[in-house]
Amino acid sequence: MPITDRVAVIIGAGGQLGPAVAKAFAHAGAKLVLVGTHADVLANVFKDLGFRESRATMHVADARDPAAMQGLTQVVQTRFGHADILLHLAGGFRAGTVLDTPDAVWDELFDVNLRTALYATRAFLPLLAENGWGRVLTISSGVTQAPPPNLTAYVAAKAALEAMTIAVAQEVKDKHITANVVLIRALDTLAERAKQPDKKTGWVKPEEVAATLLFLCSDEAGAITGARIPVFGGN
């Protein structure tokens, strides 16, 4: 599924999914804008791509800052002239019940899970619309489908992210832009395995999530919009 010369902006490129997603999109022919809060982490992701600098760039920005996201659009336009794909991989997790989760944690989780996506989407939608083609993809969690106890604020923030993404899909469907949200559970990384040593099933490799995102950005997936796509893994 080539996406040759499509410009993909990856918010949260330095996180658990970032390297696998960057590699998948690079190998499919995309031009990349890697965005994160830590220059050293982004530099490692960039280096591992083995990519020509003419086809990729990295930019340090805090997606919680709407002005930073607006500024990022100028960076992308200056470097590549346009944008085609917005991949929002940023997020955060904190456990807690509705009674013991302080307001500061609610604010934190809504900031990193919802508002980062809001500010990035609001900044880049005009560029995608101007292009006459676009893809917006966000990452949520399977816990929104059957919320367990002790994750109230996290579940609420991710559910809000899903609702926003699906609403955006309806707002831009006449502009040849799709918007979808991919739901995941446990990512199969060494760090996550160490946190959940007794978990036997439901692991998903970052590369499998990346492949799903890549398909949703293809022309073949143009009819899929406003959908929750579960990538929950098997045995």
Query: Per-residue pLDDT averaged across 96-123, rounded?
Result: 98
Quick check: 55 and 80 in contact, CB under 8 A? no
The helix or strand, by DSSP H or E, that contains position 133, with its residue range, turns out to be: none
The owner of tokens 């796509």 is 229
Taking 70 as the threshold, does the pLDDT of residue 14 lie above it? Answer: yes
pLDDT at position 155, please?
98
pLDDT at position 55, please?
92
Q: In whole numbers, what is the pLDDT of the chain averaged over residues? A: 94
Tokens of 77: 């336009």
Taking 80 as the threshold, does the pLDDT of residue 200 lie above it? Answer: no
pLDDT at position 189, please?
76
Quick check: 182 and 137 in contact, CB under 8 A? yes
Q: Which domains does the chain have, with CATH numbers?
A: 7-231 (3.40.50.720)
Tokens of 217: 């950005």
pLDDT at position 186, please?
81
Taking 80 as the threshold, does the pLDDT of residue 53 lie above it? Answer: no
Output the 3-class SS for 44-57.
HHHHHHCCCHHHEE
Tokens of 33: 């804008």
Global model pTM greater than 0.85: yes
Taking 90 as the threshold, does the pLDDT of residue 188 lie above it? Answer: no
pLDDT at position 50, please?
81
Burial 91-108 (b: 16+ CB within 10 A, else e): bbeeebeeeebeeebbeb
Tokens of 231: 């990538």
| Range in 44-53, 69-78, 131-140 with the lowest mean pLDDT | 44-53
In the sheet that holds 85-88, the strands lie side by side as: 56-60, 31-36, 7-11, 85-88, 134-141, 177-184, 228-231
